[in-house]
Amino acid sequence: SATEGRVFGAASVDLRDAAEAAREARRCVKEFDFKAVHINPVPVGEHRLYDDFYESLWNALEDLNVPLAVHTGTGTAADEMLYHYLPRLRTAQTTVAFTMGNMLACTALIMGGVLERHPKLRVVHLESGAGWVPFWLDRLAASVQGGFRGLDIPGLKLHPMEYFKRQCFIAADPDDPGIKHVIDYLGDENIVTATDFSHPEGRRYEVAVKEMMALPGVSLDSKKKILWDNALRLYPIHP
């Protein structure tokens, strides 16, 4: 409130209880005007993001018109895969958790039919880099050695790329070279930028706009969309 409308909140919800998560999302949006609902997608308990268990949460986000913000991290005791594969490799754990965690969440939401069932649900993948998006969307459809490329995916009416273009965004570092690859594959309407203010790795936030404007191979019109227009489509913000 001290920023007089220049800063907005995002609610964090606990995936162990989908009904309570939906209630908390409604409370935070209606009482505090929060603009997104954040999850750590690491599985807790027996349920996965594409299970019926979470339908009440996805319904709530559609009704509230706020996006699902996917942000993974380390230090989660439930993340059995990360610590099984990479024990003691702290720096590698962080890289893998943030990027591959988003790739797995993207897989669950698209291949698990969540975006098919909830066409108004918007999703933003945070702090994972941008470069994985073109490769991963193609690979989800193509499978091993491209053996399924061009074939229908059971339970889905669209190509993974089409779901992403319709409903998903990638939040990229201002100097991320992967931005150009995303534009070449998907276009420039599904990218937003982030500074990670004020974490140590986001220490360049004061020059973030300059870094984005200096990014080679990306047009000025695309940069305008990434810095402003796309975020206004992603979040229910009306400046």
| pLDDT single digits (tens) 73-83 | 888 888 888 99
For residue 172, what pLDDT is reported?
Answer: 94
In single-letter form, the type of residue at position 200 comes to P
Structure token digits, residue 98: 């943030």
- pLDDT-wise least confident of 6-10, 75-79, 150-154, 218-222: 75-79
Confidence of residue 4 (pLDDT cuts 50, 70, 90): confident
Bond preceding residue 128 cis, omega within 30 of 0: no
How far apart, in whole angstroms, are the C-alpha atoms of residue 77 and residue 82?
10
Single pTM value for the model: 0.95
225: number of Cβ within 10 Å: 20
How far apart, in whole angstroms, are the C-alpha atoms of residue 223 and residue 221?
5
For 11, 35, 66, 103, 192, the CA distances from 236, given in Å and listed in that order, are 14, 6, 6, 25, 14
**Over residues 32-60, mean pLDDT:** 96
Confidence of residue 203 (pLDDT cuts 50, 70, 90): confident
Tell me the longest C-alpha to C-alpha distance in the chain. Answer: 55
Q: What is the pLDDT of residues 156-186, one digit of tens each?
A: 999 999 999 999 999 999 999 999 999 999 9
For residue 6, what pLDDT is reported?
Answer: 87
CA within 13 Å, CB half, 205: 10
**Over residues 90-94, mean pLDDT:** 90
How far apart, in whole angstroms, are the C-alpha atoms of residue 206 and residue 143?
41
Q: Give yes or no for a contact between 185 and 135, defined as CB atoms under 8 angstroms apart.
A: no
